[in-house]
């Protein structure tokens, strides 16, 4: 029996991994279903979902690319930006707007360079790329995630596990390190070219409440993205 335990653990891991991959990557195989009918059901939870997290039923929504780009300047209102790629909010209600995209697009839109560890796609928050976000303990955080990437799926998930991350970081997140969840957002549709912001982007919203003091991280769970640097630090104090 002892000799069979590693084999049993491997089989269980493969089954769990397959189920989770089907959930997150279903949008790739069935894009019309995910765009129009996909819903995410959430609530209060412990363990995988963390403590004090509220996520109401939401749908992936669409908005114009022109409208989305204008929102970058107001992606974290009433916050202060610092030269060390840090943004600090002291508000008890935080409206956190997060953009996902390739590093080149992020540089063009913000005028900033990505952190040294980012070797692929990135997040933009408050006109900074993969910044350290500092929030007050107990704040109500309303998260809006908008994908501006023209060819890649992304999401924004908060976790307790620090980097470095494996290729399949989703497994780590579901096994106890995750404090928020959301589906992967489809790529934006650019009508003419990826350089002209005419078309449609996809977004998703959820709420996080009463995070205790501590060090957290945010990342994208698409396989390989966090591994090559699509993550940032979240400090609650």
The tens digit of pLDDT for each residue in 88-144 reads 999 989 999 999 999 999 999 999 999 999 999 999 998 999 999 999 999 999 999
pLDDT at site 24: 43
pLDDT at site 108: 94
pTM for the full predicted model: 0.78
Rounded alpha-carbon distances, angstroms, from residue 20 to 12, 87, 102, 175, 234: 12, 33, 25, 11, 25
d(CA 234, CA 87): 10
pLDDT at site 70: 87
d(CA 221, CA 165): 10
pLDDT digits (tens, 9 = 90+) for 7-23: 554 454 544 444 444 34
Beta strand 86-89 with 132-135 is parallel
DSSP string, 63-105: EEHHHHHHGGGGSSTTEEEETTTEEEE--SEEEEEEEEEEHHH
Helix, coil or strand: residue 61? strand
Count the neighbouring beta carbons within 10 Å of the beta carbon of residue 212. Answer: 11
pLDDT at site 7: 55
Class of 5-236 in CATH = mainly beta
Mean per-residue pLDDT of the chain: 79
Mean pLDDT of 58-68: 90
Mean pLDDT of 58-67: 89
pLDDT digits (tens, 9 = 90+) for 36-54: 323 433 332 222 333 444 4
pLDDT digits (tens, 9 = 90+) for 134-187: 999 999 999 999 999 999 999 999 999 999 999 999 877 666 677 888 999 999
Give domain limits for the chain.
5-236
């Amino acid at each position: 029996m002892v000799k069979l335990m590693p084999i049993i653990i491997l089989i269980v891991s493969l089954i769990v991994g397959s189920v989770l991959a089907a959930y997150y990557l279903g949008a790739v195989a069935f894009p019309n279903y995910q765009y129009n009918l996909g819903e995410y059901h959430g609530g209060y939870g412990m363990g995988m979902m963390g403590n004090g997290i509220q996520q109401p039923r939401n749908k992936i929504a669409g908005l114009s690319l022109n409208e989305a780009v204008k929102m970058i300047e107001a992606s974290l209102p009433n916050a202060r930006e610092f030269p060390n790629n840090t943004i600090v909010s002291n508000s008890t209600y935080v409206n956190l707007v997060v953009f996902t995209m390739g590093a080149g697009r992020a540089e063009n839109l913000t005028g900033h360079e990505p952190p040294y560890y980012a070797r692929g796609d990135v997040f933009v928050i408050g006109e900074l790329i993969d910044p350290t976000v500092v929030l007050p303990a107990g704040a109500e955080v309303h998260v809006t995630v908008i994908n501006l990437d023209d060819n890649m799926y992304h999401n924004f998930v908060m976790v307790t596990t620090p980097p470095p991350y494996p290729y399949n970081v989703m497994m780590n997140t579901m096994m106890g390190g995750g404090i928020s969840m959301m589906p992967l957002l489809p790529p934006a549709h650019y009508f003419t070219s990826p350089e002209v912001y005419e078309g449609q982007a996809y977004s998703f919203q959820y709420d996080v409440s009463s995070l205790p003091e501590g060090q957290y991280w945010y990342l994208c769970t698409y396989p390989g993205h966090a591994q090559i640097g699509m993550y940032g630090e979240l400090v609650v104090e």
